[in-house]
Amino acid sequence: MTEFFVSIKNWLQSNGDWLASLAALATVATLLLERVRSVPIKVLREIRSLLASLFGHLTKPQSLVFIAGQHISWRIGERKERPTMWVGFRGHVTNNSDRERTLLAAKLSRKHPAVLVAVQAPDRNIFGSYAIKPGVTTEVLADFYVQPPFKREGRNFCATVTFMDNLGEEHVVRDVEFKADHRIKQAVEVLSEEAVSELNDPVEKKLVSILKDEVMRYSKNSRAQGGLGSIKLIKDGKERTQGLYQDGWTSSAAGTQQEIDVDPPRAAISSDNGDKLVACFASLEGQEEKEKFVSALLDRVDGKREYLGVTYMIVYVLLRIGHLQKALNTVEKKLSENRSFTKRLLRKFRPEPLLPALHSKGHSDVYALLNALLRWTHDAFSEEQLDAIERAVAITEEHTFRIPQKLNAIRAHRAS
């Protein structure tokens, strides 16, 4: 095939009068070939290479030149409980212009916008919206989520990726071959559910009904949105239900205490569902009934049940009624992953089912909640509770946000 194109190139170069007319015809032919799925990608690339060598001097020089990498793939996944194509572009970009360029957006096949466009930092191995200086070559990546999928799972496909920069220019990367990810597809775990009508205890019915409502609230305000269901932060008379567990710093206040809130008036964290469960517990008269209530909550800390995604609410309530140590011990005992050698070896050949997206952060959200509580309501914690949290953080495999730093900050604040 290569010899065929070389012979055409030699013939065209020896017949210069034909070049002008053939340039337009060849370009149109190539665009038509792109629409024909049966044409091999290698043939399209041969044609483009031939046209570039013949007529490249007639086109405007590219300000940004993209070269697709070797590890470009796609796969079928799930996003917001809907089948989704994840398509990942990886490659390099060179700035051939005399001005800095910043990539702002990208599209797949000119219609599917990227959820992430990033280039490598000039001095570190991290990616972000960094400017590309003139003459610099750097790594570039773009991720796309496509709903509904337009390609059958397991098949490669060829598409165009278009990048837009801060100067309003578009940069087209054609004939990018996205290879299907052939990793073993994991099934999605089906969590067991319980029917309220089958419960006999009226207190347990109320408890289960509130937890089920919290599951629904979390589905609308989950980790993906930066929220924790019905949990909300009240500060300076304003309420917010998202971003309350995320940390932030102000460079102008560097050196001051920013791990915890020390400025009056103090903030508050609350939840109407949490308040209902605490009130239900307070209404119980006998110690036996109260222990039964605590056991019912602890029993629903379970990686196989429908309440996994709202484990944070169970911990929140147990904290408020004085059983934080039991809550954390149960969370780590029942939700921690088995990382034994045998377990890890078996997973290579027989992967365990994936958790549903709504419940995948059930364990981690417990520490997200604690991070928020320690930052905004640290005065409410006893020394014993701080110790219990420190012990849990030391053994967990989950991300602990900045809880260790907050524990140190709280103890230092109390020492003053």
Q: Are residues 201 and 164 in the same domain?
A: no
Q: Are residues 390 and 319 in the same domain?
A: yes
Give the model's pLDDT for residue 337.
Answer: 66
Q: In which residue are the tokens 């013939």 written?
A: 11
Kindly state the tokens that stand for 361.
Answer: 């952060």
Residue 191 placed within a domain: no
Q: Is the pLDDT of residue 188 over 90?
A: no
Q: What is the pLDDT of residues 211-225, one digit of tens each?
A: 999 999 999 999 888
Residue 9 placed within a domain: yes
Q: What is the mean pLDDT of the chain?
A: 84
Query: Burial of 22 by CB count in 10 Å (0-12 exposed, 13-18 middle, 19+ buried)?
Result: middle
Give the model's pLDDT for residue 6.
Answer: 53
Mean predicted confidence (pLDDT) in 21-49: 54
Q: Which of 12, 27, 58 finishes a domain?
A: 58
Q: Hey, which of 39-43, 152-156, 268-272 has the most confident mean pLDDT?
A: 268-272
Residue 253 placed within a domain: no
The dihedral of CA 310, 314, 317, 322: what is its sign? Answer: negative
Q: Which of 11, 37, 58 finishes a domain?
A: 58
Q: Are residues 364 and 398 in the same domain?
A: yes
Q: Are residues 47 and 129 in the same domain?
A: no
Residue 251 placed within a domain: no
Residue 187 placed within a domain: no
Establish whether the linkage from the previous residue to 148 is cis, with ω within 30° of 0: yes
Q: Are residues 359 and 225 in the same domain?
A: yes
3 or 166: which leads in pLDDT:
166
* Reported confidence tier of residue 37, pLDDT bands at 50, 70, 90: very low
| Percent of the chain scoring above 70 in pLDDT | 80
Q: What is the pLDDT of residues 351-409, one digit of tens each?
A: 556 677 788 899 999 999 999 999 999 999 999 999 999 999 999 989 999 999 999 99
**For the packed helices 324-335 and 362-376, what is the interaxial angle rounded to 10 degrees?**
150
Mean predicted confidence (pLDDT) in 94-114: 93
| Residue 141 to residues 68, 88, 126, 138, 268, Cα–Cα distance (Å) | 10, 7, 11, 10, 41
Mean predicted confidence (pLDDT) in 346-350: 49
DSSP for 4-28, written as a single string: HHHHHHHHHHT-GGGHHHHHHHHHH
The dihedral of CA 347, 348, 351, 354: what is its sign? Answer: positive
Q: Is the pLDDT of residue 80 over 80?
A: no
Q: Are residues 212 and 147 in the same domain?
A: no
Mean predicted confidence (pLDDT) in 128-142: 93
Residue 150 placed within a domain: yes
* Reported confidence tier of residue 155, pLDDT bands at 50, 70, 90: confident
Q: Give CA torsion, residues 144, 150, 154, 156, to 10 deg.
A: -70
Q: Are residues 211 and 150 in the same domain?
A: no
Query: Burial of 342 by CB count in 10 Å (0-12 exposed, 13-18 middle, 19+ buried)?
Result: exposed
Q: What is the pLDDT of residues 295-341, one digit of tens each?
A: 999 999 999 999 999 999 999 999 999 999 999 999 999 998 655 55
113: enclosing H helix or E strand: strand 112-120
Q: Give CA torsion, residues 329, 334, 336, 341, to 10 deg.
A: 120
pTM given for the model:
0.58
Task: Please name every residue paired with 127 in a beta bridge, in sequence order, or none if there are none.
Answer: 120
Q: Are residues 399 and 309 in the same domain?
A: yes
Q: Which of 36, 58, 80 finishes a domain?
A: 58
C-alpha to C-alpha distance for 92 and 300, rounded to whole angstroms = 49
Give the model's pLDDT for residue 13.
Answer: 52
25 or 198: which leads in pLDDT:
198
Residue 49 placed within a domain: yes
Q: Is the pLDDT of residue 15 over 70?
A: no
In this structure, what CATH number is given to the domain that contains residue 73?
Answer: 2.60.40
In 229-363, the DSSP E strands lie at 232-235, 238-240, 268-270
Q: Are residues 24 and 162 in the same domain?
A: no
Q: Are residues 121 and 239 in the same domain?
A: no
Q: In which residue are the tokens 């900050």 written?
A: 409
Give the model's pLDDT for residue 205.
Answer: 96
Give the model's pLDDT for residue 213.
Answer: 97
Q: Are residues 94 and 224 in the same domain?
A: no
Q: Which residues are within 8 A (CB) of 214 and not within 5 positions of it... i.e. 6 or more apart?
A: 229, 230, 273, 310, 313
Residue 339 placed within a domain: yes
Give the model's pLDDT for residue 283.
Answer: 95
Q: Look at the chain and report how many structural domains it folds into.
A: 3
Domain containing 122 equals 64-180
Give the model's pLDDT for residue 76.
Answer: 86
Question: What size, in residues, is the chain?
Answer: 416
Q: What is the pLDDT of residues 218-248, one digit of tens each?
A: 999 998 888 999 999 998 889 999 988 888 7
Q: Is the pLDDT of residue 170 over 70?
A: yes
Q: Are residues 103 and 10 in the same domain?
A: no
